Structure 1
Amino acid sequence: MNFRLLSNDPHTKARAALLETDHGQIETPIFMPVGTLGTVKGVHQRELKNDINPDIILGNTYHLYLRPQTEILKQAGGLHRFINWDRNILTDSGGYQVYSLSANRKIKEEGVKFKSHIDGSTHFFTPESVMKIQRVIGADIIMAFDECTPYPCDYNYAKRSMHMTHRWLDRCINELEKLPFEYDYSQSFFPIIQGSTYKDLRKQSAEYIASREAEGNAIGGLSVGEPAEEMYAMAEIVCDILPENKPRYLMGVGTPINILENIALGVDMFDCVMPTRNARNGMLFTAHGTINIKNRKWADDFSPIDEMGLTFVDLEYSKAYLKHLFSVNEMLGKQIATIHNLGFYLWLVREARKHIIEGDFGPWKNKMVKQMDKRL
């Protein structure tokens, strides 16, 4: 991986950079569409490339391990070939999914024993096994195995969990040193900062993660129910500690406003299921606020979804037509809404990048936050 800083905003800590892997360049700040099971829900790869055009998407280790299973992916030649995607992929280690299975898992120092959400079968993840699985999946960027603590979280539990995540990190690194790359390209490894919403723990974790000198660093355990201001406070603490010459990835975040505010704090990379999940429920993000397209008020509104005339699917369809598709439960409605939301998220981070380079990101961000913080 090569990471090159290009510009810093004079009003904030926002930065524009270029990240390059064997599968191509990634312009940051970047939003990464979530393709948990080897597909971004509701979007054909052709539409993903042509309409949304992301430099990188996500897969998930936990889900891909269960289905289609790593042996199938190995036979296919890795996830890129399996899904016919020639750009970058990042895989989450499965730590968050294990966290979400609280009723069906047991965490020990050795690893995590859990029951599949599909058939109840028992499985065991260790830092070592998760590294092996991610080698076989073959993503360009792979994540350390960690424990994501809930919110709210007792201080002592958060502290014990953080130290275990650090010990697991060392085991991940030791295992990767033994494992050759599975395919004809390299992989980059990101450790994950934890510490819940405790400033001293976040500081300790950021310092420890920075000391391991990985190619990039991630911030985990946020966007799990804490107030936005606490998220921003934790992100600011760790960004001030993490090295400037490496990418910073805030996991699972978030709303368009969350993304802009965290870009202003120095974060480079984001992912979230919100644009796709909300789209399937009729919630659309626009530059002027959010729209519930199921509301009756849109039935005779023939204007584009986003009044800014952005260059993706909203130029082709009106609010009235999209409202009609949702009313009759037509699958196309969810597809259009999904492409719109993902297109908007990618437009937003690309506009942010443009304004960082032009030196006026701070004022532009403040204007956009006010505009988007509305229900239309």
Structure 2
Amino acid sequence: MIENIFDIKHSSADGKARTGTLHLPHGDVQTPVFMPVGTNATVKALTKDDLEEIGFEIILANTYHLYLRPGSDIIEEAGGLHGFSKWNRNFLTDSGGFQVWSLSKLRKITMEGAAFQSNIDGSKHLFTPEKVVDVQTQFNSDIQMQLDVCTGWGIDKNEAVHALDVTENWSKRAKAQWLKNREEKGYKGILLPIVQGNFFEDLRIRSSEFVTKLDLPAIAIGGLSVGEPPEVFAEMLDFTVQHLPVGKAKYVMGIGTPDYILDAVHSGIDMFDCVLPTRNGRNGSYFTKDGPLPIKQERFAHDFSPVDSECNCKVCRTYSRAYLRHIFKEQEILSSMLASYHNLYFLHNMMHEIRAAINEDRFEEYRTNFLKRYHSGKWKLNQ
């Protein structure tokens, strides 16, 4: 018997958006939730204490990168990702499927698994669905993902069908190995299957029906945010969700800007992640409700106001735009630290606002007003 790990608290009267709670081995997670990406078991430029201070309950780590270095045996020896990193809240680990897909010249995919060469030293490896489950079990991941075949925007249908055939085969094998590890090793983490099918509606329906029958604790929706136009993303996401069970928690990978997050919540998505908040921060772009503020611009050289007067994070309470511009121009490490902290605080606070709006049946009003202001163009030079 696979236990229920998700309780829906409130479904919005004005749409499919909902709030809920994920019950995971290292604590409950309130949804909808944005999860920071810590590729190498560290969110770039931030400490675990920073993340706890902001209030995050779950972060990501990357199976492909951690498998190659330092290696799953070392992480297991350290007590899993929690013992290794000292982050004692939840970890979600991806399967490495996206990274293998991106190494198009260094990999070969068959029904057995994904053979690839390391981007570090060229060594050869084989990821099978069973091996990927075992590696993530060594990590003691609270949520682990099945190995899947990711496909890009614009491929033909025959290629999409083949990728889905392989993904479905890998899903069944991953579930069998996960159940074995639960029984034999006492592993407590959950496994998520992944909906694929590219941008073909009939394949999306087929995949949705397949993962529903697997009856795993939650469901991930893959194959989106891979180069398609934003309106296609929103339409296909909304279409896919319609064919999935309402009671399962749903996760969309690789989205982390306010507009994409709001589209996902509107469609009934509960979890999402992205590297953009910290990557943009390292490049001097600060999230504000008036859109991204590019701190490097000359007009901020004498501006001693905070980045965002409505933000209560320690960066906005302490530092001026002029100072933040100065340390960015001088390429000080502190610039990446402060901008990354602010951007993650901004999204975490946004999720609080989204959950409150859903619970009060005013999410669509919140979404409309937020996006109107966010896309107002305040920080464009010609405004």
State the distance in 2 between where 1:115 and 1:297 align.
Answer: 47
State the distance in 1 between where 2:112 and 2:286 align.
Answer: 43
Q: Aligned residues: percent identity? A: 44
Q: Secondary structure at the match of 1:224?
A: coil
| Shift in Å, 1:2 | 2.2
Equivalent residue, structure 1, for 2:113? 111
Q: In the alignment, is residue 19 of structure 1 matched against residue 22 of structure 2?
A: yes
Q: Structure 2: 5+ residue runs without aligned partners?
A: none
Residue pair 2:137, 2:187 contacting (<8 A) in 1 also? no
2:188 to 173, 186, 189: 186
State the distance in 2 between where 1:299 and 1:148 align.
Answer: 44
State the distance in 1 between where 2:330 and 2:25 align.
Answer: 45
TM-score (norm 2): 0.95
Q: Secondary structure at the match of 1:234?
A: helix
What is the alpha-carbon root mean square deviation over aligned residues?
A: 1.4
Equivalent residue, structure 2, for 1:236? 238
Comparing 302-311 and 87-96, the one that deviates more: 302-311
Q: Within 5 Å, which residues of 2 pair with 1:137-286? A: 137-180=139-182, 186-286=188-288
Alpha-carbon distance change, 116 to 374 in structure 1, aligned in 2, over 3 angstroms: farther
| Shift in Å, 1:348 | 1.1
State the distance in 2 between where 1:305 and 1:44 align.
Answer: 22
State the distance in 1 between where 2:179 and 2:22 align.
Answer: 23
State the distance in 2 between where 1:230 and 1:163 align.
Answer: 23
Alpha-carbon distance change, 216 to 250 in structure 1, aligned in 2, over 3 angstroms: same
Q: Within 5 Å, which residues of 2 pair with 1:1-376? A: 2-50=5-53, 52-180=54-182, 186-375=188-377, 376=379
State the distance in 2 between where 1:207 and 1:124 align.
Answer: 29
State the distance in 1 between where 2:112 and 2:137 align.
Answer: 20
Query: Could you tell me which amino acid in structure 1 is paired with residue 252 of structure 2?
Result: L
Residue pair 1:276, 1:342 contacting (<8 A) in 2 also? yes
State the distance in 1 between where 2:185 and 2:297 align.
Answer: 49
Alpha-carbon distance change, 281 to 359 in structure 1, aligned in 2, over 3 angstroms: same
Residue pair 2:80, 2:138 contacting (<8 A) in 1 also? yes
Query: Could you tell me which amino acid in structure 1 is paired with residue 41 of structure 2?
Result: G
Q: Structure 1: 5+ residue runs without aligned partners?
A: none
| Shift in Å, 1:345 | 1.1
| Shift in Å, 1:185 | 6.0
| Shift in Å, 1:311 | 3.6
| Shift in Å, 1:184 | 6.7
Comparing 236-245 and 109-118, the one that deviates more: 236-245
TM-score (norm 1): 0.97
Residue pair 1:257, 1:373 contacting (<8 A) in 2 also? no
Q: Secondary structure at the match of 2:125?
A: strand
State the distance in 2 between where 1:299 and 1:41 align.
Answer: 26
State the number of aligned residues. Answer: 375
